[in-house]
Structure 1
């Protein structure tokens, strides 16, 4: 699999993240199919090393096929995917909800790997949990990790934990990105330049993460280091919001 031919079903965000991570490393066949020609044209312009096709049938000779589709769409096109899957094909699902067992039944293969990808793989710094079907050989597992090392950290975990990682890791940045951006705007409102404000937020966040996770202090001791807490009276509201939204979302994406 070190010189494996790859195919992507779906040309959306997740596929773009993988193509970006791989663009300076991959020296093999990479095909992407999508029903939207504009999507394919944009990908081809940004990643000239790929081949693009409108139909799933074009992937019939690829060694590894990544399913980069939302769960409802996977079921809709499962019969088309099954037609291009042979005994030598490894199918990699990048979606939550569908288990290896369910995918095996839909696609008539047991050569299945599930990955919950992270947006930070775009800069080769992802945190990507992986689960293999029991029929995936040790050598194939090893080569798969070698192939994906350009996306960042990849590690094996139990399948029942994948959806939890989707909530706690894959979607994690979306809970905070808008807050960091708002702090940049506030910095500019009170006298910093745009670059000064950006640097202040970035450097402070890096150090704060190291302090919380790499010091020997517990959570209460870390929090106690700053005496003034301007939004402390709103913390419970934020906690309630997190629990309401994220636990509800988890129920929607977990396998039936």
Structure 2
């Protein structure tokens, strides 16, 4: 049976996930989305072909099988308030945001039980995602099978502990942003020096796979791995980079970690 999807929010995450499903031929008969920003809505409609319908209110999503909360954590209470008391038992609410827990979502939705959380990953756009999933206790098996089949079209969708979701937000959710600027700059330098783009892509793919394999499979210590290559062009700024990781990521984690429930 084909899917009907609703998105509360029509920004980047909606473009990534819907774009991935369309690219990979997901059986979707209808998509409704509520997005107050005209430019964001127009961008989604222009980037994602298919049966998309913009609606004016989040409450108009309640007839969809899966309703994705694709908004930032501060907007979650507003969205859940519009859905509370209107959801059908055959629907599932999937939050794509960190910070707000399943129990908090259920409470905000007036006790609605069918709630899941997913940390989305940008490579889902090309079917190479890694989207960690956590389901509410007692989540119906039939809904689980349908949801997992949908998410696995985008790549891997492992079940994880809810307490780890915000850590995955730092790793897989935001992780590509740590590397893309470096990769694009490296490509620019090398192709300008004469390396054909397709040679760069092949070598880059294998270099990255091998780099991780050495970390994970060589049994060498961190210092031994770092000593394998004698020429280190970025050695002078390595300390600055490491400190930036610590400062920025720990600060972000403090913002997105769930508030202890009383």
Structure 2 length-normalised TM: 0.87
* Aligned counterparts of 2:114 and 2:238: Cα–Cα separation in 1: 46
Q: State the shift of 1:234 in Å.
A: 2.5
Q: Show the counterpart of 1:92.
A: 94
Q: Which deviates more, 92-101 or 2-11? A: 2-11
**How many equivalent pairs are there?**
254
SS in 2 for 1:84: coil
Q: Show the counterpart of 1:70.
A: 72
Q: State the shift of 1:143 in Å.
A: 2.4
SS in 1 for 2:132: strand
Matched, 1:236 2:239: yes
Q: Show the counterpart of 1:170.
A: 173
Q: Show the counterpart of 1:15.
A: 14
* Aligned counterparts of 2:162 and 2:242: Cα–Cα separation in 1: 27
Q: Does the CA-based 8 Å contact 1:66-1:94 persist in structure 2?
A: yes
Matches within 5 A, 1:177-256: 177-188=180-191, 191-193=193-195, 195=197, 198-199=200-201, 200-215=203-218, 217-256=220-259
Instruction: Summarize the Cα distance change of 1:241–1:44 in structure 2 as closer, same or farther, 3 Å threshold.
Output: closer
User: Which digits, 9 at most, give the CA deviation of each residue in 1:61-104, with x for residues without a partner?
Assistant: 11211100011111233211225322332100000010011111
* Aligned counterparts of 1:195 and 1:74: Cα–Cα separation in 2: 43
Q: State the shift of 1:201 in Å.
A: 4.2
Q: Show the counterpart of 1:138.
A: 141
Q: Show the counterpart of 2:156.
A: 153
* Aligned counterparts of 2:147 and 2:198: Cα–Cα separation in 1: 42
Matched, 1:32 2:33: yes
User: RMSD between aligned alpha carbons?
Assistant: 2.2
SS in 1 for 2:28: coil
Q: State the shift of 1:203 in Å.
A: 4.5
Q: Does the CA-based 8 Å contact 1:37-1:54 persist in structure 2?
A: no
Q: Does the CA-based 8 Å contact 1:29-1:50 persist in structure 2?
A: yes
Structure 2 unaligned regions, length at least 5: none
Instruction: Summarize the Cα distance change of 1:43–1:251 in structure 2 as closer, same or farther, 3 Å threshold.
Output: same
Q: Which deviates more, 69-78 or 200-209? A: 200-209
* Aligned counterparts of 1:63 and 1:27: Cα–Cα separation in 2: 11
Q: State the shift of 1:135 in Å.
A: 2.5
Q: State the shift of 1:44 in Å.
A: 2.7
* Aligned counterparts of 1:32 and 1:203: Cα–Cα separation in 2: 39
Q: Does the CA-based 8 Å contact 1:56-1:84 persist in structure 2?
A: no
Structure 1 length-normalised TM: 0.89
